[in-house]
């Protein structure tokens, strides 16, 4: 089958690698190079780099997905199917071009967690199960009919980077089977139950500060979910203290939320509402990530001190 692949993030690379084993990639669509770093040097997307390394092309990097030139070029590629992973919202003039339409690999069990941050939001919500959904794109945001789904359990300590990697591999394992069923006519698309939907909006820096008045379990899930960006932090002595890793300690309310209730060699416990959060890895402002043991050697934290 002739396929145009559309994506930009590393999440889609395993699926693209799987596709080139079974199909002809007749085009790549990805985001334009962006200035990054202190020198603002132009940096290509991971998909563009992969395409160059594997001699895939043509590589299209349109500023606008609605431009006549871009749409005409897509039509000239004579693709049977477009496959989209972690990309931009496509207009109808694009997703309706191929005879098999356009399918998307989404990192959740739709209709749960529609939007750009499904992995982060599932962990933040304390979900115990996630997965991938391969669906046919329509004019809504992740609302199209479902072609294929596969689920995985979320580990009790699992973080966003860990689940990201597992779901990326799961998408790669699933995409060719889904396309084979599509090509053979053996499967039918199933409509989503929109009444069960919830959103997965993009994360922002304003969400990163810890609210100690929340339950310890809620804060713990947020710490797992917000790795590596935007991270989670609180304030100590008017300086930012990143909280990179922690554990939940069951306890009744013993202190005002944010109060340090005990300090050990490798941790300190912070009162939440309810429960305690045991902090085991931190990033002090302007310093590297470190185990709490190393941080405590040079800090003035004492029991009874209140983090904000």
Q: Which CATH superfamily is domain 205-297 in?
A: Formyl transferase, C-terminal domain (3.10.25.10)
How far, in Å, CA of 224 to CA of 210, rounded?
Answer: 13
Q: What is the pLDDT of residue 185?
A: 77
pLDDT score, position 143: 97
Q: Which residue has the higher pLDDT, 184 or 279?
A: 279
Q: Are the folds of 2-196 and 205-297 the same?
A: no
**Where in the chain are the domains?**
2-196, 205-297
- pLDDT of 104 strictly over 90: yes
Which pLDDT band, with edges at 50, 70 and 90, does 182 fall under?
confident
Task: Report which DSSP code applies to 91.
Answer: P
189 SS3 class: coil
- Give me the CATH code for the 2-196 domain, please: 3.40.50.170
Buried-state track 135-166, b at ≥16 Cβ within 10 A, e below 16? bbbbeeebbbebbbbbebebeeebbbebbbeb
| Dist CA 208 CA 41 (whole Å) | 28
Determine the pLDDT at residue 66. 96
Taking alpha carbons only, the member of 160, 156, 158, 135 closest to residue 230 is: 160
Give residue 199's pLDDT: 97
- The rounded mean pLDDT for the chain is 95
Q: 184-187: long-range contacts (C-beta < 8 A, 24 or more apart)?
A: 187/147, 187/148
* 112 and 126 Cβ atoms separated by less than 8 Å: no
Q: What pLDDT is recorded for position 183?
A: 84
What confidence category does residue 70 fall into, taking pLDDT thresholds of 50, 70 and 90?
A: very high
* pLDDT score, position 308: 95
Q: What pLDDT, on a 0 to 100 scale, did the predictor assign at position 67?
A: 96
10, pLDDT greater than 80: yes
> How far apart (Å, rounded) are the C-alpha atoms in residues 270 and 259?
5
């Amino acid at each position: 089958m002739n396929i145009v692949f559309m994506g930009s993030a590393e999440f889609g690379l395993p699926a693209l690698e799987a596709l080139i084993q079974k199909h002809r990639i007749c085009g790549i669509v990805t985001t334009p190079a962006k200035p990054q770093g202190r020198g603002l040097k132009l940096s290509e997307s991971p998909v563009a780099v992969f395409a160059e390394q594997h001699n895939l092309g043509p590589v299209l990097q349109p500023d606008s997905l609605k431009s006549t030139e871009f749409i005409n070029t897509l039509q000239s590629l004579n693709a049977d199917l477009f496959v989209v992973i972690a990309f931009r919202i496509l207009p109808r003039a694009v997703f309706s071009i191929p005879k098999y339409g356009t399918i998307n690999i989404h990192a959740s069990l739709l209709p749960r967690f529609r939007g750009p941050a499904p992995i982060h939001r599932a962990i933040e919500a304390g979900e115990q199960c996630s997965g991938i959904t391969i669906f046919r794109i329509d004019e809504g945001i992740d609302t199209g009919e479902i072609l294929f789904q596969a689920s995985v359990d979320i580990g009790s300590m699992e973080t966003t980077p860990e689940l990201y990697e597992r779901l990326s591999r799961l998408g790669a394992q699933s995409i060719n089977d889904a396309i084979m069923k599509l090509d053979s006519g053996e499967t039918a698309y199933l409509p989503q139950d929109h009444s069960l939907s919830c959103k997965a909006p993009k994360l922002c820096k304003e969400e990163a500060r810890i609210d100690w008045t929340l339950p310890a379990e809620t804060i713990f899930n947020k710490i797992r979910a917000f790795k590596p960006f935007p991270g989670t932090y609180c304030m100590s002595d008017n300086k930012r203290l990143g909280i990179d890793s922690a554990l939940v300690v069951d306890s009744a309310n013993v202190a005002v939320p944010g109060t340090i209730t005990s300090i050990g060699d490798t941790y300190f416990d912070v009162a939440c509402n309810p429960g305690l959060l045991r902090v085991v890895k931190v990033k002090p402002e302007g310093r590297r990530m470190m185990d709490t043991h190393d941080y405590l050697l040079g800090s003035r934290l004492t029991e009874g001190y209140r983090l904000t």
